[in-house]
Structure 1
Amino acid sequence: MTHALKTLTCTGLAALALFTLSGCAHGPSRSQIGTGAGAVVGGVAGNALFGSTLGTVGGAAAGALIGNELGKDSGRRGRR
């Protein structure tokens, strides 16, 4: 493959990726923020309590579920 063709291919793929991902360019919902924050807090708490990888992953999963639900509830309250 020639240098010019490689450059054109890479530029085209980058433009396609940019165009495709631009549809996702909006802020996160309250539920998504709650999920992320809950996962971080739960992971830290799980690691502190159990001191193992399994405790960290379990705490992150539980925190993500709780954070997601709390984010949904606060989103519903704001719409009334």
Structure 2
Amino acid sequence: MLSCKELVAHSSDFLDGQLSLRERLSVRAHLAMCRHCRRFIRQMKVTQGVLRALPETAIPELEALAERLAQQRRKP
């Protein structure tokens, strides 16, 4: 069975459907036993969904907001 570290290393390929049958079965067996990794995979699925929903072209207002937030974060 995979360790948690190995599962994390395979997580993107698992979510993208790029693992062999044997690898998928190993991941699924680990997920059946490990609630922490199940939560991690759920979070990864949400993250993928959010990233896919973002527009492909940059939105100037969004870029300006991100820059302002970054500047505020750098202030002591």
TM range (shorter): 0.3 to 0.5
Larger CA Rg, structure 1 vs 2? 1
After TM superposition, the score normalised by the length of structure 2 is 0.32
Structure ranking higher in helix proportion: 1
